Amino acid sequence: MSARFAFTGLNELIAELRALPADLRDEAGIIVQSHAYTAAQAIRNAYGQHRYSGDLADHVVVARASTGPFGVGMVVRSTARHSWLFENGSQVRYYLGASRGSMPAAPTFIPIMMRFRRSMYLGLADLVRRHGLVVSGDA
């Protein structure tokens, strides 16, 4: 007794599976890039509410990160020299015996990035679900 097992459309399935990482990368790139630029604009707008010189808002930049052939990455960064001081504040400072006061913290960058990163993760999870993959866990 011999058994025979035949697949129809196997070559097409293999071709689709080979193209899947590139398709996912391209679609994910759109999601990641749009969230990065939208987050950067939201940060610029928030910094603009504290505008004195405009230096903080002018130094929010977005750059592409190197991630390999199947990865997508963007980096949102504030390159202003005083961004850490603005975000974290300072203690009371003394110079030549006189108090120069403190600077209160104004957390802006991290809370905005956390909100947009969560939204991006949800969009990426939806992307892989649309392609028939199973997503488990929480963003």
* DSSP designation for 92: E
The overall average pLDDT reported for the chain is 84
Q: Taking residues 91-101, report their average pLDDT.
A: 86
pLDDT tens digits along 9-46: 657 656 665 666 777 888 888 999 999 999 999 999 99
What angle is formed at CA 69 by the lines to CA 68 and CA 73, rounded to 5 degrees?
55
pLDDT tens digits along 57-87: 999 999 998 877 777 889 999 999 999 999 9
Amino acid at 6: A
- Residue 24's closest CA among 114, 123, 116? 123
% of residues, the chain, pLDDT over 70: 82
Its pTM surpasses 0.85:
no
* DSSP designation for 139: -
* DSSP designation for 50: T
Alpha-carbon gap, residue 98 to 86, rounded angstroms: 22
Give the 3-state secondary structure of residue 21: helix
Higher pLDDT, 139 or 38: 38
User: What is the model's pLDDT at position 100?
Assistant: 84
